[in-house]
Structure 1
Amino acid sequence: MPEPSPSPKRRGRLLRRGAAFMVLLAVAGYLAVQYVTGGPGTPGCAVVSGKGDGARYEFTPEQAVNAATIAAVGTGRKLPERAVTIALATALQESGLRNIGHGDRDSLGLFQQRPSQGWGTEKEIQDPIYASGIFYEHLVKVRGYTELPLTVAAQRVQRSGFPEAYAKHEPDATLLAAALTGRSAATLTCEGLPGTSSAGGTDSVRAALVRDFGQDALQSAAAEVGSAKARPTPAPTVIESDGRTIVLPVSGERGSGTGSGAHERGWQLAHWAVANASDLHIQRVSYAGRDWIAGNTDSRWRASTAPGAAEAESSGPDSVRIVTTH
């Protein structure tokens, strides 16, 4: 005897269960991708280990801009590289390095900070400069944070319901911090293809430098964008006669390890420019005898072909050159 066909009512239940199962699979797949990659988007940037061990992290231009801001705020406060690593790992976990306008309950922004818990207003929290600064303010109050396991230090700031979640981002955050504090030279690259932003040109670059590094870091840039609080510093910016090239002199003691030495400072500014290339329509960045050029398929730092590059390198790198598309 053949098996009787399921009743229409039973078939309906089976179809609904099957559809629910497929939805669950789709959600699980999406969450797995988010867990591994730290967020959606097509990678256009990469950072590699300066140790030559093959470690690599790929990320999007949006993530690159936010990571560069987090690092700039940290080094601007003269905090150690470890602080920047902790901040980057936290933002990777909380938002995938995206400045999002939603989250659990009233959580917002890069670090998913909550206005109701005293982190600031909604507007403040969605300002990456403010959000990074308030994170660091809380981090430095954690006794011995540089010696603690990263996930412990991050948890003491964030009070997350998933205290071990930050640990998985430490390898990627370590690569990013080494590049964006300038300790690891020529390790961060992006395709640099112009995005949807209409910003560009030397004025936009100078304004962005002031935004991320602060008014005291680039006195000449601050003056150009109308800051009343600018004060003289040893590192004014210079615009060359072509109107598309901005020169950032760098100075300090080499090898300080905090991003403030000449070599570290130079690579911090160079990597910052590459991270912001799509947003600010930057075409070329040169430092220490090497060039990054937007649109190269391999996005590598190459030996500079600019006139006088070899002589500049032999006498010691002293400036970062940023060329915009217009």
Structure 2
Amino acid sequence: MRMRTGVALLGLAAVGVVAAVGYGVLDHVSPLLQQDGCTATVSDRTVRLSVEQAENAALITAISVGRGMPARAATIALATAYQESKLYNVEAGDRDSLGLFQQRPSQGWGTAAQVLDPYYATNAFYDALEKIGDYESMRVTVAAQEVQRSGFPEAYADHEADARVLASALSGNSRRAFSCRISDAPESAPDRLMDSGLTRRADVVRREVGQLFGGPPMGGFAPGGVSTGHMEGSAHYDGRAIDVFVRPVDAENKVRGWAIAQYLVAMADRLGIQHVIFDDRIWTSGSASDEGWRDYDPPERAGDRAVLEHRDHVHVDVFD
């Protein structure tokens, strides 16, 4: 039995939750018959995941980014979770092993409830990894074994190549490398604005992104409601959109922006996300999600190009 990532993550997924569908995207299948799922492609290697696996992979990577850890750390964690749980948050395992990393409460990893919380379990893994002073110079399987003490230490190597692809894409080091096919819109949610000026669904996104990626060099959020800085018809006017600023526009912030943008795509099904825009590219849920990241062509090109092309911020808006 498995627990969906969003059920435990930060306690913020009470709205916009849609059951994940299975994985099975095949090139020869008609788009009408394809199941939802996600792909990451880096250097001609493509990794395919179910929506549920993608959510877990994105969370594992986002936590490493938020902690200021290198992509190498995410690679080690992803290879470990691949081997231990196939990137599912499983509620059973060998003896008392539980969760993404099959951590055992009897070995001091925390209570059963804690290790079944993907956010807690991932941070516990990184806490242990950081105690290994030279993990960046170790082989992935050696570093993973130093944390896990598995009976099959070389098995982690079987997943290293796929873990590298996911870590590179989801950490933002590979731009436009991660996308998901999300075919259905979520059910409508209450549109009453919260104190933040956002709908409840948008406020969940705001808080989740803030907790995972908050702090320098990320800037603030543009609240919902009327703003002269947005085009007519913008979701900002309805309180359905936030902007996550990554200023100044430099190489480091560009990487961080793509980490945030691709995290949001991975969580689009769970959070009810409709559009993600960054660096003059747009991802859209529904039939357009088959196209992945497309060129963004706003209707009005006058004014500040960095703002119009979303080069200094990640724009995300949610369904009604």
TM-score, length-scaled by structure 2: 0.75
- Taking the TM superposition and a 5 Å limit, the aligned residue runs for 1:62-81 are 62-81=52-71
User: Within 1, Cα distance between the matches of 2:255 and 2:245?
Assistant: 13
Given candidates 45, 53, 56, the residue that maps to 2:38 is 45
Equivalent residue letter for 1:238: P
Q: In the alignment, does 2:165 pair up with 1:175?
A: yes
User: Within 2, Cα distance between the matches of 1:155 and 1:238?
Assistant: 45
Given candidates 234, 242, 246, the residue that maps to 2:242 is 246
Equivalent residue letter for 2:132: V
Q: RMSD of aligned C-alpha atoms? A: 2.7
Distance 1:56 1:144, change over 3 A: same
User: Within 1, Cα distance between the matches of 2:144 and 2:301?
Assistant: 42
SS of residue paired to 1:94: helix
User: Within 2, Cα distance between the matches of 1:270 and 1:175?
Assistant: 17
Query: Which residue in 1 is equivalent to 2:204?
Result: 207
- The count of corresponding residues between Structure 1 and Structure 2 is 266
Equivalent residue letter for 2:298: A
Task: Check whether the contact 2:276–2:315 (CA below 8 A) recurs between aligned residues.
Answer: yes
User: Within 1, Cα distance between the matches of 2:248 and 2:135?
Assistant: 27
User: Within 2, Cα distance between the matches of 1:241 and 1:321?
Assistant: 14
User: Within 1, Cα distance between the matches of 2:120 and 2:289?
Assistant: 35
TM superposition shift of 1:175: 1.1
SS of residue paired to 1:234: strand
Equivalent residue letter for 1:265: R
Query: Which residue in 2 is equivalent to 1:234?
Result: 219
TM superposition shift of 1:105: 0.5
Equivalent residue letter for 1:298: D
SS of residue paired to 2:221: coil
Q: In the alignment, does 2:147 pair up with 1:157?
A: yes
TM superposition shift of 1:306: 2.1
- Taking the TM superposition and a 5 Å limit, the aligned residue runs for 1:75-224 are 75-194=65-184, 203-208=200-205, 210-211=207-208, 214=211, 217=214
Task: Check whether the contact 2:172–2:259 (CA below 8 A) recurs between aligned residues.
Answer: yes
User: Within 1, Cα distance between the matches of 2:188 and 2:64?
Assistant: 28
Q: Percentage identity across aligned positions? A: 42
Between stretches 188-197 and 160-169, larger displacement belongs to 188-197
TM-score, length-scaled by structure 1: 0.74
User: Within 2, Cα distance between the matches of 1:66 and 1:288?
Assistant: 25
Question: For each residue in 1:206-256, what CA deviation from the matched residue of structure 2 results, as whole angstroms up to 9, or x when unmatched?
Answer: 43553465278179xxxxxxxxxxxxx73234321132222211225733x
TM superposition shift of 1:183: 1.1
Equivalent residue letter for 2:135: Y
Distance 1:116 1:208, change over 3 A: farther
User: Within 2, Cα distance between the matches of 1:57 and 1:194?
Assistant: 22
Query: Which residue in 2 is equivalent to 1:324?
Result: 318
Distance 1:75 1:252, change over 3 A: farther
SS of residue paired to 1:48: strand
Task: Look at both structures and tell me which one has the larger radius of gyration over its CA atoms.
Answer: 1
User: What residue ranges of structure 1 are gaps of 5+ in the alignment?
Assistant: 1-39, 220-232, 256-260
Query: Which residue in 2 is equivalent to 1:284?
Result: 275
Task: Check whether the contact 1:110–1:126 (CA below 8 A) recurs between aligned residues.
Answer: yes
User: What residue ranges of structure 2 are gaps of 5+ in the alignment?
Assistant: 1-21, 26-36, 192-198, 225-235
Task: Check whether the contact 1:151–1:165 (CA below 8 A) recurs between aligned residues.
Answer: yes
Query: Which residue in 2 is equivalent to 1:29?
Result: none
User: Within 2, Cα distance between the matches of 1:92 and 1:161?
Assistant: 16
Query: Which residue in 2 is equivalent to 1:305?
Result: 297
Task: Check whether the contact 1:98–1:109 (CA below 8 A) recurs between aligned residues.
Answer: yes
User: Within 1, Cα distance between the matches of 2:316 and 2:309?
Assistant: 20
Distance 1:194 1:116, change over 3 A: farther
SS of residue paired to 1:312: helix
Between stretches 119-128 and 261-270, larger displacement belongs to 261-270
Equivalent residue letter for 1:266: G
